[in-house]
Structure 1
Amino acid sequence: MVLNSGSLNRRIQIQRATQTPDGYGGFDNEWNDFGPAIFARRRDVSDAERLSAGAWDNKLVTRFIIRATAFGRSIARYDRLVHEGVTFEIDGIKEVPDNRGFLEITAQTDDIA
C-alpha cells in the first residue's frame, strides 16, 4: 500500500461530545463538529478478515487513513467521525507502521445503507 496525499481522496468530519446535565442526575451528549473536515483514505474491512478475527456482527468496520498532523493526533477514541452522512464510532487509532506521517482510524457503524 503506497500512501501519499493523492490517496487521501475522501472527506471526513470528526465530532466530539459535550456533556450537559439532563435534569435527572445524568448527562446528555451533544455532538458537535471538532476541527475542520479532513482528507482521508477509506477501506472497509472484508467479511473474511472480520470472520477470521472472530468479530462477526451486523456492523460495518472501516479503516480511515489520515495525515498525522497535530490535529490528527488530538483525535481520541471517545470522538466519532462522519463520512458521507454515516456516523462511525471510533474503535482505535494507531500510526501506520511503514510511515509515521499517517494515522489509521478503525471505526464501525451499524448505519449500513
Structure 2
Amino acid sequence: MRAGWLRNKVQVEREMQTPDGAGGVSVEWQIIAAIRGELRMSKGKEVVSSGQIEASAMGTVSLRYSTVTASITEADRVVVDGIPMNIRSVRDPEGRKRRIELIVERGVAQ
C-alpha cells in the first residue's frame, strides 16, 4: 500500500460495557487504534421511513495489515475523519497479510 493513499484519519473503536451500579450497563466506545487509511465511498441511498428520510452510504476503508488491524471485527466501528461508520465486513483481499479492507456503512444504527 502506498503511503500517499492513506490520507484519512481512522480510529477503530470497540464497544465496552461497564456495570452502572443499578443493575444495568453503561456502553462506551473505546479507541483501540488511531491509524491512517484510505476511504472510498461507493454508493448511497435514501429511504422514507415513518415519514422521515433516512440516508445511508456504503464504502471501503483500506488499512495496512498489523496485529491490531487483524483483530478488527464486525462488532467494532470506525470513525473516519470524525464520521462514525459501522463495519459490515472485514477481509484480507489478497490473503497475503498486507492490507485489511473494511466494508463500512454510515448513517444507520448499529
Hey, what's the Cα distance between the residues in 1 that align with 2:15 and 2:93? 26
Q: TM-score normalised to the size of structure 2?
A: 0.76
C-alpha separation between the residues in 2 aligned to 1:27 and 1:102? 35
* Root-mean-square deviation over aligned CA pairs: 2.3
Hey, what's the Cα distance between the residues in 2 that align with 1:99 and 1:8? Answer: 19
How many Å apart are 1:42 and its aligned residue?
0.8
In structure 2, the residue matched to 1:102 is: 99
Residue segments in structure 2 that go unaligned for 5+ positions in a row = 46-53
Identity %: 25
Q: Distance in 1 between matches of 2:103 and 2:37?
A: 12
1:60-89 CA distances to partner (integer Å, 9 max, x unpaired)?
Answer: 111000001111101111111111221111
CA distance in 1, matches of 2:93, 2:36: 16
Matches of 2:95 and 2:71, distance apart in 1: 21
User: Any idea what the Cα deviations from partners look like across 1:11-67, whole Å, max 9, x if unmatched?
Assistant: 1011111112356654331112113x11101100135xx8xxxxxx73111100000
Looking at secondary structure, tell me which structure has more helix per residue: 1
After TM superposition, the score normalised by the length of structure 1 is 0.74
Which segments of 5 or more consecutive residues in structure 1 lack a partner in the other structure? 51-56
Which residue pairs with 1:59 in the alignment? 56
Residue matched to 1:53? none
Aligned residues: 100
State the alpha-carbon separation in 1 of the partners of residues 93 and 3 from structure 2: 14
Structure with greater proportional strand content? 2
Tell me the residue number matched to 1:7.
Answer: 5
Shift of 1:5: 2.5
Match of 1:93 in 2: 90
Distance, in Å, in 2 between the alignment partners of 1:100 and 1:20 is 34
Aligned to 1:46: 43
